[in-house]
Structure 1
């Protein structure tokens, strides 16, 4: 994660040049108003803002729940919003965050996030390609429809977006709102960046899907590259992502592989967890856990497998112990050992002295380092349990954290 000091007022020097096609195509996600998603090769424009003064940008904290060093930082940018449009931009950011936190697992784990709003003031209102391809707007982030000839693909100058996002204290995911009511967006999964129409009612629905990629390391579950029913077949090795596999239900059960623990259980996106063929951009040979989850279509829920992986990845970034008293060197006897935990339910706190659990101390966030004259060790273990996580590797891994103190003896 990239961590920077908060800059409340800053200017950036960028170099301007006409947009040019990039050296080669790269895969991009394209979103339709009906919720379907396709993946197509796109020639992205080269950065065009190279030699002019960018507008001054301020940073507004939307919701701050803790130190950025132990939170997931979501940074919003706006493009094509003039000074007069800033109130509209702020309202759209608030609406996007509200929509996202109405969906699990963001709703339950909302307090693991910090949300920052970078207020980029544009000299012109609107973005290129709105409403038609011949409309050109010189905006700070270079947002444009008709990217590589695709009307609804909303590209942005990646370098300019990242430079502006760096004004915020944290930058785990960048969300660029374009000042338009025209539907469109794009997912830059390699850059943890997503674009969407800030003024369209369905624009914000793109963000949770993209967070499935950037935060959850989830694969797409839709079964085709650009066209449905293309007869494509996956014939490679087992897939790395948690929510796709080459194994059917019987094989997963026999081998205790992938999501075997969830098979037959109800899933939040409807139906029961199984092995549904068609995923990872192919029609055959790859299986997904449910019929139609958020990683297949917009405006859906994550399936059980996706939700579990998202929670595990949340805790990879936001660790269960928020802070603790120093433990880098031995502490005197009778010292107070204290921790602060994340503000989430389902945490268990256990204390151990020289390897033996102190049952009377369970649940405490501070204890006194009492003990014999030879000193010893004190360890606290904080673990999070939830019915949404079944994999013991997740429960014992990112959902559990411990801190150990060495206590001085009398000599």
Structure 2
């Protein structure tokens, strides 16, 4: 659990903004050591799912989530389970009305994989509301149904690190393009699991690349910092972001990869599951 916590704060921007977070650890002991098909055998009711890789009906989770905090507080649960297959984030909105839940599996590939999953699922999806930038479907256009879903997500403030246009003046990160601090920011095709019809801001980012690239791109860092400062009540401004921003760990090269959850020896599935609109 200590390792999981340290992983959450291991890279920018949560590394710099660590003091803005309160961390509570809750242990849940299951009847079986690993997640399987029977929800009665796991303390949290988590089971494998053929579509999503792992799923949870969220029935038991609140009993554990609200042990350290009151029901009036909306936490950001980062759930570590013993398993061999997946990372998963259940994002039902901006996390203001109800929690978003991020699952990371240990045993998949040891501590390095767990660290990556926590950064990708808990920091990126669950807290940062970021969309996946990697590709599962090579040479395939983003289907119309997925475009509509992305539009709905972005209307709720999700997946703003992606764009359905390659117009540099219209993308959400247009203010970073041409900025002297960020000469590497541009418009690159590929993301949201498809090779064509969707764009991202940098060639390499933790939401897009292999497990060795532990780096959030500039727009992802800005979105994360904005979340931190707004939730803290301090208030966000671009100048505040620039004062503390660091691209420490940024790879100097690289290109869009296949899903980082693909492996010849480990069966990985990553899903950002978006629920209904918040009222």
Residue 106 of structure 2 is matched in structure 1 by 198
TM, length-normalised to structure 1: 0.46
Does structure 1 residue 126 correspond to structure 2 residue 33? yes
Where in structure 2 are there 5+ consecutive unaligned residues? 93-98, 246-279
Q: Within 5 Å, give how 1:118-157 maps onto structure 2.
A: 118-122=26-30, 124-129=31-36, 138-145=41-48, 147-148=49-50, 153-157=53-57
User: Residue 244 of structure 1 aligns with which residue?
Assistant: 162
SS in structure 2 at match of 1:168: coil
Can you give the 5+ residue segments of structure 1 that lack an aligned partner in the other structure?
Answer: 1-92, 322-346, 348-382, 390-411
- 8 Å CA contact 1:276–1:288 kept in 2: the answer is yes
Of the two, which has the highest radius of gyration? 1
Write the distance in 1 (CA, Å) between the matches of 2:165 and 2:22: 38
Deviation at 1:94, TM superposition (A): 0.5
Q: Deviations over 1:355-378 (max 9, x none)?
A: xxxxxxxxxxxxxxxxxxxxxxxx
* Structure number having the greater strand percentage: 1
Instruction: Specify whether residues 179 and 282 from structure 1 end up closer, same or farther in structure 2 by C-alpha distance, changes over 3 A only.
Output: closer
- Match for residue 140 of structure 2? 230
1:294 corresponding residue in structure 2: 206
Q: Is the 8 A contact 2:135 2:190 kept in 1?
A: yes
TM-aligned CA deviation for residue 103 of structure 1: 0.9
Give, in angstroms, the shift of residue 267 of structure 1. Answer: 8.5
1:188 paired with 2:90, answer yes
TM score, norm. by length of structure 2:
0.66
CA shift in 2, pair 1:120/1:214, >3 Å: closer
Matched, 1:168 2:86: no
The SS at the match of 2:60 is: helix
Q: Between Structure 1 and Structure 2, how many residues are aligned?
A: 220
Q: Per the alignment, in what secondary structure is the counterpart of residue 164 of structure 2? A: coil
Q: Does 1:259 align with 2:173?
A: yes
Cα distance change of structure 1 residues 115 and 298 upon mapping to structure 2, 3 Å threshold: farther
| C-alpha distance in 2 between matches for 1:302 and 1:194 | 18
Distance 1:267 1:214, change over 3 A: farther
Aligned equivalent of 1:178, options 68, 76, 81: 81
Q: What is the aligned partner in structure 2 of residue 401 from structure 1?
A: none
How many angstroms does 1:303 deviate by?
Answer: 0.4
